[in-house]
Amino acid sequence: MINQFKSLLCLVLALSIFPLAAQQGQQGAQLSGRQIEAWVTLPDRSILFGQQAEKIPFTYGSPSRGGGVPIVIDDQHTMQSMDGFGYALTGGSAELMMKMSGPERTKLLRELFATDGTSIGVSYIRLSIGASDLNSFVFSYNDLPEGQTDFPLAKFDLGQDKKDVIPVMKEILAINPNILVLGSPWSAPTWMKTNGKVKGGALKKECYDVYARYFVKYIQEMKKEGITIDAITIQNEPIHGGNTPSLMMNADELTEFIKTNLGPALKTASLSTKIVLYDHNLDRPDYPLTVLRDPEAAKYVNGSGFHHYGGDMSAMTVVHNARPDKHIYFTEQMITERPGVNTIAIASTVKRMIIDVTRNWSRNVILWNFAADPLNDPHTDDGGCASCQGAVTLDNDKVTRNIAYYVIAHASKFVRPGSVRLFSTNKGDMSVMQTTGLQDLPTQVWVHPFENRDAMPNVAFRTPDGKIVLIVVNDTYAVGTFRVQHKGEFANISLQPGAVGTYVWNVEL
């Protein structure tokens, strides 16, 4: 009965202000002074992350009719901070870039990594520790003839990386010295493995200690080259032994390695490099949760990393909810398109890779990989990826920008490191229509809740320099109209079917 009375009272109060709202609407909404800048990609490729000439004005007072389903942004309701958006700089990518002429390579790197108006502002890089399957050949930093061992790591050498990855990284750091770097191994040196091969096998128990020191040595030697490794994963895809190279490591083995060897080794060396678990598909959230159940291992762990070649994005929220004290990272996903196609599937891909990933608590998005040649080379034999297209295709100095380039651009240019995800209306959320700006109303702000069943997929952030960034996808076959609602002000926006828009405005006038 009490709830019924409250509902009736709210209805009476709401009805009592409708005439005022109608009167305000007849008077017309007033411009607030804030304006929205829009960057759009259309599916027919006529606009590819293009800045729109006209800015979209905010108004206040009663919102105009026909504005579409609102996307309400509440910057008092904050979620995770963002570390950045970017790509894996594989050895193969770096090899191709080293084949470019110096001026053209610098031009490309500035376009990608600078933080001024001409760049897409990539802010996160993943490196392979040793070779990945997108190298021309397999190597580690401690390769030995069969039958030999090197427990003191006397022969450790960054080797091949000094020819390509390290020179390219130094150029990138000269452009953006604050870029974050994640390191991931595909395999331990073969003499540390049970099968003695680059593909498959497990880490020998007697090599746990030396392998932990191998990680420490890598971090220290990269630091000598001027490259800070912010975080490491312990094994790329630890339950997939089909890559060349690869190594199998189950959750119990990983737990033992962290708490007994790797965690203490990093601590002894006074290294602040973060440990990120798992680095594999979303269909096994039980893997990182198993490790995190061990308090001795968990105390060394910063968070868990995921790929999306299997499972559902919501698995990241499951892990976040179970351990909100640990972070979530999205460490790899390959997205491709056929060369020379006339359309670009930008809406579905941005929804999956940017909106769904960040709405499920990830602090970053890393796509796989940065560059390949027109044949999707280089890659290793017998387990290398022959279909892995780069964000850019490099044919000597010729650069072709592919779908992964534009997907990351829609976030990385404006959602800078340190940005915070905000509440914004999601499909099915209970939202509100504000009736602020009505001069004759009491001091209270009255709201009318209703259910949004048709809100466009979106995600919103507040940046360190005081801007709101809203990324919206129209994944339908019709022109979509929506109303941005922020701080009691409104802006009506239309978005073409299959298009993506990034909208940026100041928090305050």
> What backbone phi and psi angles, to 5 degrees, belong to 406?
-75, -30
Check: CB of residue 269 under 8 Å from CB of residue 216: yes
* Shared-domain flag, residues 75 and 165: no
Same-domain pairing of 428 and 334: no
What would the mean pLDDT of 413-428 be, rounded to a whole number? 94
Q: Is residue 50 part of a domain?
A: yes
Terminal Cα-to-Cα distance of the chain (whole angstroms)? 45
- Tens digits of per-residue pLDDT, 131-175? 999 999 999 999 999 999 999 999 999 999 999 999 999 999 999
Q: What is the pLDDT of residue 508?
A: 87
In a domain? residue 351: yes
For residues 508 and 468, the answer to whether their CB atoms sit within 8 Å is: no
Calculate the dihedral angle through the C-alpha atoms of 465, 467, 468, 472, rounding to the nearest 10 degrees: -100
Report angle CA 322, 129, 239 to the nearest 5 degrees: 45
Same domain flag for 271 and 300:
yes
In this structure, what CATH number is given to the domain that contains residue 245? Answer: 3.20.20.80
Number of domains in the chain: 2
What is the pLDDT averaged over residues 212-227? 98
The answer on 304 and 178 residing in a single domain is yes
Location of structure tokens 């404006």: 414
Query: Final residue of a domain: which of 376, 391, 417?
Result: 417
Residues near 108 by Cβ (< 8 Å), separated by ≥ 6?
A: 97, 100, 392, 399
34: helix, coil or strand?
strand
Q: What is the mean pLDDT of residues 191-198?
A: 98
Residue 426 sits in a domain whose CATH number is: 2.60.40.1180
Residues with Cβ within 8 Å of residue 464, at least 6 apart in sequence: 416, 418, 419
**Vertex 480: Cα angle to 474 and 483 (nearest 5):** 105
Torsion of CA 71, 77, 80, 85, to 10 degrees: 30
When mean pLDDT is compared across 68-72, 161-165, 176-180, 405-409, the lowest value belongs to: 68-72
Give the end of a domain, one of 389, 417, 445: 417
According to DSSP, the residues that pair with 280 across neighbouring strands are: 306
- Any domain includes 184: yes
Residue 441 has pLDDT above 80, yes or no: no
Residues 389 and 486 in one domain: no
**Token pair for 371:** 């560059």
Residues, the chain, total?
Answer: 509
* Whether residue 481 is found in the same domain as residue 334: no
pLDDT at 61: 78
Q: Do residues 34 and 98 share a domain?
A: no
Measure the CA–CA gap between 125 and 370, rounded to whole angstroms.
9
Supply the pTM of this predicted model: 0.90
Indicate whether 484 pLDDT > 90. yes
Instruction: With a cut of 60, say whether residue 425 has pLDDT above it.
Output: yes
Residues 152 and 62 in one domain: no
pLDDT value of position 431: 55
3-state secondary structure of 84: strand
Question: How high is the pLDDT of residue 3?
Answer: 43
The reply to whether 508 belongs to the active site is no
Shared domain for 468 and 371, answered yes or no, is no
258-305 pLDDT, tens digit each: 999 999 999 999 999 999 999 999 999 999 999 999 999 999 999 999
Q: 10 Å Cβ neighbour count for 393?
A: 20
Give residue 340's pLDDT band: very low, low, confident or very high (50, 70, 90).
confident
Least confident of 16-30, 39-53, 120-134, 355-369: 16-30
- On whether both 176 and 69 belong to a single domain, the answer is no
**451 or 215, which is more confident:** 215
The pLDDT of residue 8 is above 90: no
pLDDT in tens, 65-121: 666 888 999 999 999 999 999 999 999 999 999 999 999 999 999 999 999 888 999
Asked whether the predicted pLDDT for residue 12 surpasses 50, the reply is no
Output Rg (C-alpha) for the chain, integer angstroms.
25
Report residue 361: phi and psi, to 5°. 85, 5
Residue 1 lies in a domain: no
Rounded mean pLDDT of the chain? 90
Residue 11 forms part of a structural domain: no
Q: Are residues 277 and 246 in the same domain?
A: yes
The single-letter code of the amino acid at 165 is V
Which region holds residue 200: left if phi is over 0, alpha if psi is between -120 and 50, else beta? left
Please indicate, yes or no, whether residues 320 and 426 belong to a single structural domain of this protein.
no
Mean pLDDT, residues 452-475: 93
Question: Which of the given ranges, 1-5, 29-33, 85-89, 505-509, has the highest pLDDT on average?
Answer: 85-89
309 domain residue, yes or no = yes
The two tokens of residue 80 are 């995770």
The answer to whether residue 461 sits within a structural domain is yes
pLDDT higher than 80, residue 182 = yes
Would you tell me the crossing angle of helices 102-113 and 91-98 to the nearest 10 degrees?
A: 130
Catalytic residue among 237, 253, 256, 489: 237
- pLDDT single digits (tens) 15-36: 222 222 222 333 457 888 999 9
pLDDT higher than threshold 80 for residue 1: no
Provide, for the chain, the percentages of residues in helix, strand and coil under a 3-state DSSP scheme, each rounded to the nearest 5.
30, 30, 45
Instruction: Report the C-alpha gap between 483 and 43 in whole angstroms.
Output: 22
- Domain containing 296 equals 83-417
Give the domain-ending residue among 390, 417, 444. Answer: 417
Beta bridge partners of 505: 468
Query: Is the C-alpha dihedral spanning 367, 372, 377, 378 positive or negative?
Result: negative
User: Is 140 contained in some domain?
Assistant: yes
Catalytic entry in 111, 253, 256, 332: 332
